[in-house]
Amino acid sequence: RRLVLKWIQSHCKRFLLVEFDVHFFGRAAMKGQDLRSPGRVQAVVEAFERGLAEYEDLGDDGERVIQGFLCPVLEGYFDSNVATNFEQGLVDWKEELLEAGFSSISHEHVYDYWWAPAFCICAQ
């Protein structure tokens, strides 16, 4: 990802990224910590319960989202051998964008989604 961000920085005046602020859930925040710690398990399960409730009334489409996306991602949050995503928190994104050569980083809240708050990060 760092090489891609450096390339983007060298080719764009402004880069916008909309991402969840998963400062507690993300693997970057958990480096060297137990992926199955009680507080993390509780937070992830509670978030997924909200997500499941959002899709359960959508019939077959909801079932496909639950079985084909949400469940594999949920399982990946507790498997140290398999990363099902590479999420990170807002602070980590800002640091990574600065390391890529962007000199001005700002953010704006977009929406409080069931998973985590979403932010638009502007890097220049």
Tens digits of residue pLDDT in 82-114: 666 777 889 989 999 999 999 999 999 999 988
| Among candidate residues 75, 100, 69, 105, the one with its CA nearest the CA of residue 90 | 105
Percent of the chain at pLDDT > 70 equals 85
Averaged over 69-90, what is the pLDDT? 78
- pLDDT average, residue stretch 26-54: 76
- Residues, the chain, total? 124
Query: With contact defined as beta carbons under 8 Å apart, do 7 and 1 qualify?
Result: no
